[in-house]
């Protein structure tokens, strides 16, 4: 008696199901980790009346600790941008854990510092509001907080 060949259809269906499942897992992992790149310690920004360099000491920021934010702001001619009112709001991306707002103080002409406390580890959006005279400018950057 000759051995009977089993039909190939169930094997092909199983192989296709495994391939599709593998592709779905690869897509999901790529999507989940696509936004996980670390934001830089120092960022540069231009606005209508000048430029600023934004840095965070001891980067990445430490969750539940004071972190020093420093801004060096210049006008379009490169001179210090003095006498502005600056505030920063920290907002954790994809979470509803509460915003953190703090004021910046002018430590030297055109150099502003302030202390911000991210509430938990993860990626945060920092929004700077700069008011000078009757003008208001808003700039954003990303930052990472760790334990």
Same domain, 25 and 75: no
Over residues 18-33, the mean pLDDT reads 75
Same domain, 74 and 17: no
Give residue 121's pLDDT. 94
3-state SS record for 83-118: CCEEEEEEEECCCCCCCEEEEEEEEECCEEEEEECC
Three-state SS for 103? strand
Give residue 11's pLDDT. 82
User: Which structural domain, as residue segments, surrounds residue 83?
Assistant: 42-146
Predicted model pTM:
0.76
Which is more confidently placed, 17 or 59? 59
Same domain, 13 and 47: no
Over residues 76-101, the pLDDT tens digits come to 999 999 999 999 999 999 888 889 99
């Amino acid at each position: 008696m000759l051995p009977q060949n089993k039909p190939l259809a169930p094997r092909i269906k199983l192989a296709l199901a495994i391939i599709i499942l593998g592709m779905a897992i690869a897509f999901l992992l790529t999507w989940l980790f696509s936004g996980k790149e670390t934001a830089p310690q120092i960022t540069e920004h231009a606005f209508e009346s000048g430029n600023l360099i934004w840095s965070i000491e001891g980067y990445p920021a430490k969750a539940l600790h004071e972190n020093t934010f420093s801004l060096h702001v210049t006008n379009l001619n490169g001179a210090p941008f003095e006498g502005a009112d600056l505030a920063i709001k920290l907002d954790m991306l994809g979470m509803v854990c509460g915003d953190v707002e703090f004021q910046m103080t002018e430590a030297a002409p055109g150099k502003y510092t302030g202390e911000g406390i991210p509430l938990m580890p993860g990626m945060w959006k920092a929004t700077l509001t700069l008011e000078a005279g009757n003008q208001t400018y808003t700039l954003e950057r990303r930052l990472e907080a760790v334990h």
